[in-house]
Chains A and B, each alone.
Chain A
Amino acid sequence: MREKRESIEKQTVKAKGGRSWIHDLRMNKALYFLTIPIVLYFIVFSYAPMFGLVIAFQDYKPSRGILGSNFVGLKNFINFFTGPNFLTILRNTFAINALSLLISFPLTIVFALLLNEIRLLKFKKTVQTISYMPYFISMVVICGLVIEFCATNGVITNLLVNIFGIQRVNLLQDPKYFWWINLFSDIWQGLGYGSIIYISAISAVSHEMYEAAAIDGAGRFKRCMNITLPSITPTIVTMLVLKCGLMMSVGGDKILLLYNSSIYSTADVISTHVQRMGIENMQYGYSAAVGLFNSIVGTSLLLISNTLSRKLADTSIV
């Protein structure tokens, strides 16, 4: 028994120092065996597509395959940049994300802070549970409801006609409403769920700080601004960085469900453009190029915002 323990200890020590591959292979035979399917899975479904990005630089013809198609350099990218829709698509992508960053992001934090001020625990729990609920409804159903409520005689249209006196139209046929419809349905669906992370960060703040501040005569608003908010700043910064990093990829599937050709001028974004050109029109090389442009911008945004947050707020995720 003791010998066995010693040998195991030796192994652990050795592994830290670095044992030979052959020895490791013999010791961890089962682990190596289990690694094979995992590695295969990621090679096929994650890495093979990365190499498939080669077609972004090709005049890809399905019949000739990747190896047989001609390389055309940056032609696909140039086609995208000089295409008639480029500026519109770029503007829409950024506008939709900027609205979400400027409005729904702070609202989520405010909601968490307000919820924190509720002292009746039962009430708080109930509001939380109800506010998470929309997140669990499928996008198809959400968009189905949005389409119904924004129809010519829909609930939201009626409300807007009565309050603001707008002209009665199908709101989803009029380009000027799309950004707002998208924003408010996002808020409706995601506000409660998005606040979870802040609520748990708030609950980790030490109670003693609040008590000390209360003794010093700080009111609730002051405590919120001077204790709670600074304490959850790292969480806020992390979420902000993540949001910037995901800017280019989020929301495409919702827009696909909501938009129609009459509002492409405000609703078409990069990911929907890729989907239409690639899957529907089968322009594989061109769409792969647009997708690659999208990934590169997305990854750069993530790295830039991460560096900025490390410099400015001393928090970073990578």
Chain B
Amino acid sequence: MSNLLDLLVAGLATGAIYALVAVGFTLLWQTSQTINFAQGEFVMLPAFLMLAAMHAGAPFWLAIILGILLSMLLLGLAFKLLLVDPMLRHGVLPLAIATMALAIGMKEAVKQFFSAEASPFPSIVPAGDVTVLGRVISLQSLGVLALAIAVVVGLTLLLNRTSIGHQMQATAQNPTVARIIGVPVERMILLTFLINAFLVALASLLITPIYLAKFSSGEVLGQAAFIAAIVGGFNQVRGAIAGGLLIGVVDNLAAAYVSTQYRAAVPLALLIVIILFRPQGLLGRPEERTV
């Protein structure tokens, strides 16, 4: 039983990171019909940008700021202007394929220009344990969980309580009508790309100390976020959050109780069951827009 609690906390911590990535994924889908197959690599890259800044002599805090800004520039602005904008009018599929190519390109670039080996990455949460109600819980898990929750709450407030958030939602729901009532649709779409880049940079900062910085680490992460987004509901931000937490917990429990060999199969089986019986996801609404 006590073991279960540990697993739950660790699962929620990884799940919170998955949720950050999944939220960005659904935001891109909602506002611009972009299925980003490079989302995992988007999480992999910022850690290397931060490491590169640190190698150049910047202190850790400065490296984090630089890494996040560079990520927003490259993975937000440049991604949208150079790849998504020219391709969007051709439909969903060519763009999805182009992001697959982008994923290969990013992996190879990091492997060539940085390192093929896994590099250690400093944690922003100090190592150590705290005792809560007689249970020893790692500070890292708690820190990750707290930060991820803060970001998710902040994002939800932004989307639901501010004018910009409402404009973004209007853009996502019906761009034509949004444009008619005076929402700057183009700027809102750009904003979602910047938010996505910010979220993946943050996720990178939180998860890399746990799994090390490696060029191929995006594969697993991207798939987890992908599954989280679909399980929770492809067209709902809160769905993606719930999906992320659920996948994190399920993954950790599966590793302990099913088998280490088939732990990866459990979220996939969950995905197939969800698509068969509730294709709009646990919290999603049925999709009306035909793609």
Q: Do A and B come together as binding partners?
A: no
